[in-house]
Chains A and B, each alone.
Chain A
Amino acid sequence: MTDKQSNPALRESATFGRDVIAEIQRAAETGIYDIRGWGAKRKVPHFDDLLFLGASMSRYPLEGYREKCGTDVTLGTRYAKKPIVIDTPVTIAGMSFGALSAQAKEALGRGASEVGTSTTTGDGGMTAEERGQSTKLVYQYLPSRYGMNPDDLRKADAIEIVLGQGAKPGGGGMLLGQKISDRVAQMRNLPMGIDQRSACRHPDWTGPDDLAIKIAELREITDWQVPIYIKVGATRTYYDVKLAVKAGADVVVLDGMQGGTAATQDVFIEHVGIPTMAAIPQAAQALQEMGVHREVQLIVSGGIRNGADVAKAIALGADAVAIGTAALIALGDNHPRYEEEYQKLGSAAGYYDDFQEGKCPAGISTQDPELSKRLDPVAAGKRLANYLRVITLEAQTLARACGKSHLHNLEPEDLVALNIEAAAMARVPLAGTNWIPGQQF
């Protein structure tokens, strides 16, 4: 699909491109919509469309590597007796055991713990490996409640109530039969080899007023010790954040449309939700209007790749970010060393997204014992730690350039946009102007 046709007389249709044609042919042949992992692949306005205004005459920069630029974040200061303190604002997002191998989960725990950040369970419950290797573990409370039990709830350092994901706001999950090993089936209390549908709505509450009671229940059960997060996919973010705060959340986790997934319909991944960059200002506005910005912390995810993304998300109002896809890549996902095997699966290194098939050559998105064994949790954990350190340093570099002694001191005023779309979405001026589309001045 990537090679250009050499005959210049052939003209590819912009509407019916070769990828579109291939998908129509695939649909016609199989009668099944395309399910895949990864996040949105289409181009949407993103952090790359923003630039920092470094300090010069009117602002005073900090000396790189010498003057301190703090990176720690405390999450859950609103109600929890034991808030979580992380040393870098980059956390590991919730990814299920089932979608990922036990080795991958362990590696995520190891890497995150090494740099003093948190990791998160996912659909399917908590495994001993990840609890054991994670010094700070967030326990997801999902609609399916697969593997949900109060003993694990009490072992968690925080609880994340999942309302939605950026890859599929309004959708449930699906773990296809081929990934259901004995252990996964047992943890979820289902027969082996069948497709496991995860509901899109919680079974015992509807709407924000019920959610407030649900949060109170979780707090009562855990004796008000640990923070309670609410995770939403980015859609009507301004309202969702207000309702989450009203329902009593300590932390709001906001996942933009680029956010990764283990298995979702392609049409859902590509066509539902709003870009991460567009969602953050809405969330920040909601928090500010309620007087709880920085008191109810905001964790942002969906397409975070490097320190610039981290710094820009924080400047727009986030307290921390979460990464999924980037963490898997750091572990070894899509690595060229497996090129041949990716080819055999009809994919290529850098393109592989069939997480739902359970055949991941890198041993990450699989339950196959032979494939899983390829991932050494210690070495992979080390790579993740390296990567987390790099992006933290990158974010610090940018913050110092803007004269900030802590990442949290970054602000929208430090940013400009490269194009009108980004200026409107991020609510920062178009570079070289003082024009923020949609705002009066």
Chain B
Amino acid sequence: MKTYDLSSDSLRELNQALHDADITASEREWRVANPNGAHNIACGLNDAISVDIDGHAGYYCAGMNQKANVTVHGNVGVGVAENMMSGMVHVKGDASQSAGATAHGGLLVVDGNASARCGISMKGVDIVVKGNIGPMSAFMGQSGCLVVCGDAGEALGDSIYEAHIYVKGSVTSLGADCIEKEMRQEHLDEVSDLLKRAGVETDPAAFKRYGSARQLYNFKVDNASAY
């Protein structure tokens, strides 16, 4: 295991090493000590390595991740795993706003709570939040799944496209064009699989499904007040 200590090593050195395919070919396991909330830790990874961050991370931790497995033993700031393409990001603590924003693939797991705009504009990523999520989550969500074991805040799934949302607890309110939908077998399977991958033991049948009513897909003047 290769360790970088951000109390003495620079973030630039760390990220440069993590991006260097010659180095990551032989060093598969990495540890980041003393992250101290630094921004942009382990962003832009492009190899199937594993990175453990021992503490809190700032903004855009594991941003645009591809293939790598990043675990944060602490909380993360805004935009964790934003625009992730593949791989997995696991936050052991809480996540700030815009967790998994615009991500196209991979799995993001938050053990604690995630703040506002979780999964905003999600484009294929799967997100499992064991706690609660804040308002405006999955805004304009295009595809992928957002599974919430706790409660969801206001305006869930506003202007949503084809993303799937599953919430076990309460939903303060649904956003424009987002409705509750029937939970069929395929959805139970989908939730069950994601819970398994995130290491959560809960009954998938306890979740409700939310998605697009598809009423705002093409502009109609009669819907003007919904915009």
Contacts and interface: CB of A to CB of B under 8 A. Distances in A.
Interface of A: 30-32, 144-145, 148-151, 153, 176-177, 188-191, 193-195, 197, 199, 203-205, 210, 213-214, 216-217, 220-224
B15 A220 contact: yes
- The residue among A32, A150, A191 with the most chain B CB atoms within 10 A of its own CB is A150
B82 interface: yes
Contacts of A145: 83, 102, 121, 123
A223 B13 CA distance: 10
B114 interface: no
Q: Which 10 A-B pairs have the closest CB atoms?
A: A221-B44, A31-B221, A204-B79, A194-B217, A145-B102, A204-B98, A150-B64, A204-B101, A203-B120, A217-B60
Interface of B: 11-12, 15-16, 19, 39-40, 43-44, 46, 58-60, 63-64, 66, 78-79, 82-83, 85, 97-98, 101-102, 104, 117, 120-121, 123-124, 139-140, 142-143, 159, 161-162, 217-219, 221
A220 B43 contact: yes
12 contacts: A150-B66, A188-B142, A189-B142, A197-B159, A203-B121, A204-B82, A205-B79, A214-B60, A220-B12, A220-B40, A221-B15, A221-B44
Contact of A189 (B40, B60, B123): B123
A349 B105 CA distance: 45
A191 B161 contact: yes
Contact of A213 (B19, B60, B64, B159): B60
A177 B78 contact: no
Contact of A204 (B58, B85, B120): B120
A362 B123 CA distance: 33
Contacts of B218: 177, 193-195
A32 B46 contact: no
B140 A199 contact: yes
Contacts, number: 104
- The residue among B11, B63, B143, B162 with the most chain A CB atoms within 10 A of its own CB is B63
Given A145-B83, A195-B219, A220-B11, A213 B40 contact: yes
Contacts of A221: 15, 43-44, 63-64
B124 A150 contact: no
A189 B141 CA distance: 10
A197 B177 CA distance: 14
Contacts of B120: 203-204
Nearest to B217: A194
B102 A204 contact: yes
Contacts of A153: 64
Contact of A30 (B46, B59, B85, B221): B221
A204 B119 CA distance: 10
Given A144-B121, A194-B161, A214-B60, 15 more contacts: A148-B83, A153-B64, A188-B142, A189-B143, A190-B161, A191-B162, A197-B140, A204-B101, A213-B60, A220-B11, A220-B15, A220-B40, A220-B44, A221-B15, A223-B15
Contacts of A205: 59, 78-79, 98
A148 to B, nearest CB: 6
Contacts of A222: 44
Contacts of A216: 39-40
Given A194-B218, A223-B19, A199 B43 contact: no
Nearest to B63: A217
- The residue among A205, A210, A213, A220 with the most chain B CB atoms within 10 A of its own CB is A220
B101 A213 contact: no
B189 to A, nearest CB: 22
Contacts of A151: 66
Contacts of A213: 39-40, 58-60
A153 B85 CA distance: 13
Contacts of A204: 60, 78-79, 82, 97-98, 101-102, 117, 120
Contacts of A148: 83, 102
A202 B172 CA distance: 24
Contacts of B83: 145, 148-150
Contacts of B40: 213, 216-217, 220
Given A217-B40, A222-B44, A203 B219 contact: no
B83 to A, nearest CB: 6
B54 to A, nearest CB: 20
A203 B102 contact: yes
A150 B46 contact: yes
A221 B84 CA distance: 12
Contacts of B98: 203-205
Nearest to A214: B60
A264 B147 CA distance: 35
A308 B123 CA distance: 45
Contacts of B104: 149, 189
A31 B221 CA distance: 6
Contacts of A149: 64, 83, 85, 104
